[in-house]
C-alpha cells in the first residue's frame, strides 16, 4: 500500500491508545520492567519508557526500584499500577444481613462491615442498616465518600435499568425503594444496583469456583433459588435486567423444591422455618432416613430448572452457591446424576468457594468494572474519583 | 503527558489499522467521499485519501466517478466496497430439502439451487443432493470452487467443534456424517457447519423480524421444535455447541406439543403425518372446533419451554419461525397471552419474515462473518479466497 499521511490528530490518538494499553498491562500483573511491558503491549521500548514515566507523573503508576540483590549490570526499575489511587465499595443487602466490603483498584479488600437484619424487616430498617455499614466502613478505613470511585449494591429480585426492583422483590416493601437516589445523597461517584445472583456469578468467575470458565450457570440456592448467567465471559442481564429468573416458572419446580426440606418429618418444633433446611441437611449427613429422602427430593426438583438452563445455554460449569452451598457435599453428586439423565451434554458441577461473601465480592467486581469502563473509554486524566454521568 | 517516541513499527501498525477502519466503513454503507469517510472513521482527510487509493489498487474498492448533474465546483468522487471481489455459499440441509444460496460479499443473493429429499433418506442420499445443488449453483453462476471464500451449511441437531452432530441428530444416520471432510474435497476455503435453529436466528436478526434487537429467542417450530439464541447481539453456541436444546427436557413439553396437532380428531386418513399439522391449522382457521382445541393445546405446551427461555434470558424479542410460522396468525396472540401468565416481563412476540429460507440465509451470514473475521484479523492483502486454517 502507498505511503500514508500521518497527521497530528492521528498521533495524539495513538499516544492516548498506547498509554491505555500500558495501564491495562500494568493492571493485570506484578510490577514489570519497560522491556516486559514492551513485549506485553507490542509497543517499542522507547515508547513504553516515555509512557511509563508519564503514568508515574500522572499518579497511575509507582516505581519499584530494583533491590541490591541483582548480580549483573544495572538492574531495571519496575513499574507497578497504583492500586491505592482509588477505592470501591461492594455491598450485599440480603434477606438477613447487610455486608459491605471496601477494596482498592486491584480488588484487594481492606475493610469489612456487617450488620444483621430481620428477614421481615421493612425498607426503612434495611436502609438504616445499609447507612450504618457504609458509615462504619468509611470511618474504619479513614476514607471519605470523595475517596470512593464506585459503589455497587446487590439486592434480591431482578433489577431494572433505573436500579430498582420494580418487577418483583422478595424483601418486604423493597420494590418501592430507589437505592440509587438514596445513596446519591452521600456519594457523587457512580452507584450501581444489581441482582444478587448475578453478582455472585461474577464473583465466582473472578476469584471463586469458576475462574477457568467463560460459560457459567451460577445457582444461588437457599429458601429461594435464583440463577446468574455468564455467557462468553460476560455477565448477562437480559433486555430488562431479568435474566436468570427461570425459577418463576412452576414447571421447573424451583419454587417448591425447598418445601421438601421445610416439611421434612422430624424437624423439631424449636427449629424455626429459616433453620429447618440446615437441620435437615445435618440430619441427612447423620443418616436420618426422612432427611435423606427430603434431600433427594429437593435435588430432583432443583435439577429440573437447572437442566432447563443447561440445555438452553450449554455452559461449561454449573456452580452451586448460596446458603445451601454449605451442604454441597450432599447435593453435588446427585445433582450431577440427575443432570446426566436430563441433558444432552453434562457440564462440570462445582460448589461455590466464596460462600456467604459471594454477593458482596461480586458487587466489588462490578464496581471495578465500572471504574475500568470509564478509565478505558473516557481516556486518561489524573486519577480522581469519577462522578455520575 | 510527555512527548512520545513513535517508531517505524508503530507507524506500520497504525497504517494497517487505519486501512481496515476505512474498509469497514466502506462495507457498511453506500459509496462515500473521502470527506464522508474521514468523518466516519475519525481519520484525517489526507490519510483517508491515500488509503482509499490504495484500496482501489489492491482490489478492495472501486471508484464511482461523479455524475454530470453536479451544480457547483468539481464534484467529489466516491468509493464503493468491491463486493464482487469474492462470493460465499450458504446451504440448508433440512429434513425435506437441500437449499443453497450464492451471494457476494455484501450478502446480495445472486443464485439459488434447491432439491427435495425424503424425510427418511439416509446420509448418502442427502449428501448426493448436497453435491448436486453445489454443482448446480457453481455452474449457473459461472463460478468455480476457487471463487468461493466460505461455505456454511445448516443441519439439524447440535453441532460440535468439529462440525459434526455427534450428540444427536433427528436426520437418519446423520450423526455419523463428517460434513467438513466431505466438502473439503471440493472447497479449499473455510467450511462451517452450524445448527439450523442458530442460523435461522442469525438470519432474522440480519434481515428478518428482529433486525432491531440484540436479545432474541428464535423458535424453529415444526414437527420438531428448537431454539436459537442471540444475546447482546451475538449468536450463542454454548460451550459444546448445544445451546438452545431446551426442547430435550420433558418438563417444558416441546417434545410432545406437536402431537396435539398430529392426533387431532378429524384429520383425513389420506393426509400423511408430515401434512397433518398443516391440515389442522387450516381447519382451525375455518372454524373446526377440534382443530381449534388442538391448536390451543399446542400453543399452551410450546409456551412452557418458551417461558423457560424468556425467564432465563429476558430477551427483547421472541421470533416464531420454522415451517409452522406459516400459521403464525393462529399462534402469536395466544402464545403472547400464555407468556404473560408465565413470565415476569413479556417480550415482543413476532412471526418470522423469512420463512423457509431462513436457515440458508443464516448460513450466508455466518459465511460472511467468517470472511470478515479473517479480513479484520489477518490484515489486508489483495482480495483472494481465504484457505482453511
Q: Residue B25's Cα: distance from chain center in Å? A: 22
DSSP string, B342-353: H-SSPPEEEE-S
**Alpha helix segments (H runs only) across A95-216:** 123-141, 179-184, 196-207
**Closest residue of B to A313, CA-based?**
B243
Cβ pair A311:B44 closer than 8 A: no
In sequence order, the β-bridge partners of residue B334 are none
What percentage of chain A exceeds 90 in pLDDT? 76
Among B308, B317, B382, most A C-beta atoms within 10 A, so best to mutate, is B308
**Contacts of A65 by beta carbon, 8 Å cutoff, 6+ apart:** A77
In sequence order, the β-bridge partners of residue B93 are B98
d(CA B96, CA B118): 6
Identify all chain B residues contacting A252, using CB atoms and an 8 Å cutoff.
251-252, 308
Domain positions in chain B:
8-81, 86-200+358-378, 211-353
d(CA B309, CA B71): 57
What is the distance in angstroms between the Cα of A186 and the nearest Cα belonging to chain B? 32
Cβ pair A240:B343 closer than 8 A: no
Contact in structure between A196 and A297 (CB atoms under 8 Å): no
Q: What kind of fold does domain B211-353 have according to CATH?
A: Nucleotidyltransferase; domain 5 (3.30.420)
Confidence category of residue A169, pLDDT binned at 50, 70, 90: confident
Among B5, B46, B239, most A C-beta atoms within 10 A, so best to mutate, is B239
Contact in structure between A86 and A71 (CB atoms under 8 Å): no
Contact in structure between A301 and A338 (CB atoms under 8 Å): no
Identify all chain B residues contacting A304, using CB atoms and an 8 Å cutoff.
249, 251
Higher pLDDT, A151 or B21: A151
Q: Do domains A8-81 and A86-200+358-378 have the same CATH topology?
A: no
d(CA A17, CA A11): 10
Q: Given B2, B50, B245, which is nearest A5 (Cβ)? A: B50
What is the distance in angstroms between the Cα of A103 and the nearest Cα belonging to chain B? 28
Cβ pair B234:A232 closer than 8 A: yes
What is the distance in angstroms between the Cα of A86 and the nearest Cα belonging to chain B? 20
Q: Which CATH code is given to the segment(s) B8-81?
A: 1.10.10.10
**Closest residue of B to A50, CA-based?**
B4
Q: Which of A16, A21, A214, A314 is nearest to B241 (CA)?
A: A314
* Domain A209-353 class in CATH: alpha beta
Cβ pair A5:B309 closer than 8 A: no
Instruction: Look at residue A308 in the predicted model and tell me its pLDDT.
Output: 98
- Residue A256: is its pLDDT beyond 90? yes
What is the distance in angstroms between the Cα of B172 and the nearest Cα belonging to chain A? 18
Contact in structure between A254 and A246 (CB atoms under 8 Å): yes
**Closest residue of B to A2, CA-based?**
B54
Cβ pair A237:B15 closer than 8 A: no
d(CA B320, CA B325): 6
Instruction: Look at residue B3 in the predicted model and tell me its pLDDT.
Output: 43
* Grid cell of B3 as nine digits: 512527548
pLDDT in tens, A260-270: 999 999 999 99
Q: Which residues of A166-185 are buried (b: 16+ CB within 10 A; e: fewer)?
A: bbebebeebeebebbebbee
Tally of CB atoms within 10 A around A60: 24
Q: Does domain B86-200+358-378 have CATH number 2.40.480.10?
A: no
Q: Which run of H or of E encompasses B133? A: helix B123-141
Tally of CB atoms within 10 A around B214: 15
Instruction: Look at residue B66 in the predicted model and tell me its pLDDT.
Output: 80
**Contacts of A23 by beta carbon, 8 Å cutoff, 6+ apart:** A55, A60, A61, A81, A375, A380
Q: Which of B314, B229, B233 is nearest to A237 (CA)?
A: B314
Q: Which of B174, B207, B212 is nearest to B316 (CA)?
A: B212
Higher pLDDT, B246 or A71: B246
Confidence category of residue A73, pLDDT binned at 50, 70, 90: low
pLDDT in tens, A306-345: 999 999 999 999 999 999 999 999 999 999 999 999 999 9
- Residue A2: is its pLDDT beyond 50? no
Cβ pair A158:B1 closer than 8 A: no
Phi, psi of A313 (to 5 degrees): -110, -15
What is the distance in angstroms between the Cα of A267 and the nearest Cα belonging to chain B? 31
pLDDT in tens, A181-223: 999 999 999 999 999 999 999 999 999 999 999 999 999 999 9
Phi, psi of A340 (to 5 degrees): -60, -35
pLDDT by 10-residue block (mean), chain B, 389 residues: 54 74 86 93 91 89 78 79 94 95 96 95 95 98 95 95 87 90 94 97 97 97 95 95 96 96 95 91 97 98 98 98 96 98 96 94 96 73 73
d(CA A18, CA A27): 14
Q: Given B252, B344, B347, which is nearest A158 (Cβ)? A: B344
Q: Given B19, B46, B247, which is nearest A7 (Cβ)? A: B46
What is the distance in angstroms between the Cα of B285 and the nearest Cα belonging to chain A? 30
Confidence category of residue A274, pLDDT binned at 50, 70, 90: confident
**Closest residue of B to A217, CA-based?**
B312
Amino acid at each position: 500500500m502507498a505511503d500514508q499521511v500521518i497527521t497530528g490528530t492521528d498521533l495524539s490518538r495513538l499516544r492516548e491508545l498506547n498509554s491505555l494499553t500500558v495501564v491495562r498491562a500494568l493492571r493485570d500483573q506484578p510490577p514489570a520492567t519497560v522491556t516486559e511491558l514492551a513485549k506485553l503491549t507490542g509497543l517499542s521500548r522507547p515508547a513504553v519508557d516515555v509512557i511509563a514515566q508519564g503514568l508515574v507523573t500522572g499518579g497511575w503508576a509507582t516505581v519499584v526500584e530494583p533491590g541490591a540483590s541483582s548480580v549483573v549490570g544495572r538492574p531495571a526499575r519496575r513499574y507497578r499500577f497504583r492500586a491505592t489511587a482509588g477505592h470501591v465499595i461492594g455491598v450485599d443487602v440480603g434477606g438477613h444481613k447487610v455486608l459491605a466490603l471496601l477494596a482498592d483498584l486491584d480488588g484487594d479488600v481492606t475493610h469489612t462491615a456487617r450488620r444483621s437484619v430481620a428477614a421481615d424487616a421493612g425498607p426503612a430498617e434495611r436502609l438504616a442498616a445499609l447507612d450504618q455499614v457504609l458509615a462504619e466502613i468509611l470511618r474504619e478505613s479513614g476514607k471519605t465518600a470523595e475517596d470512593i470511585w464506585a459503589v455497587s449494591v446487590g439486592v434480591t429480585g431482578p433489577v431494572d435499568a433505573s436500579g430498582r426492583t420494580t418487577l418483583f422483590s422478595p424483601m418486604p416493601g423493597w420494590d418501592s425503594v430507589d437505592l440509587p437516589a438514596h445513596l446519591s445523597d452521600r456519594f457523587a461517584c457512580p452507584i450501581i444496583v444489581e441482582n444478587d445472583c448475578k453478582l455472585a456469578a461474577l464473583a465466582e468467575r473472578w476469584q471463586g469456583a469458576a475462574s477457568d470458565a467463560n460459560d457459567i450457570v451460577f445457582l444461588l440456592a437457599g429458601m429461594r433459588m435464583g440463577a446468574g448467567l455468564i455467557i462468553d465471559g460476560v455477565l448477562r442481564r437480559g433486555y430488562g435486567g431479568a435474566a436468570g429468573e427461570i425459577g418463576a416458572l412452576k414447571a421447573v419446580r424451583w419454587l417448591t423444591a425447598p418445601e421438601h426440606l421445610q416439611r421434612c418429618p422430624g424437624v423439631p418444633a424449636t427449629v424455626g422455618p429459616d433453620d429447618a433446611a440446615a437441620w435437615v441437611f445435618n440430619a441427612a449427613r447423620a443418616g436420618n432416613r426422612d432427611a435423606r429422602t427430603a434431600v433427594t427430593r429437593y435435588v430432583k426438583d432443583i435439577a429440573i430448572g437447572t437442566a432447563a438452563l443447561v440445555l438452553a445455554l450449554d455452559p461449561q460449569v454449573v456452580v452451586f452457591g448460596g446458603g445451601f452451598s454449605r451442604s454441597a457435599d450432599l447435593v453435588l453428586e446427585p445433582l450431577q446424576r440427575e443432570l446426566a439423565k436430563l441433558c444432552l451434554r453434562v457440564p462440570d458441577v462445582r460448589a461455590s468457594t466464596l460462600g456467604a461473601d459471594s454477593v458482596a465480592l461480586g458487587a466489588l467486581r462490578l464496581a471495578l468494572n465500572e471504574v475500568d469502563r470509564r478509565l478505558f473509554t473516557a481516556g486518561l486524566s489524573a486519577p480522581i474519583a469519577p462522578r455520575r454521568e
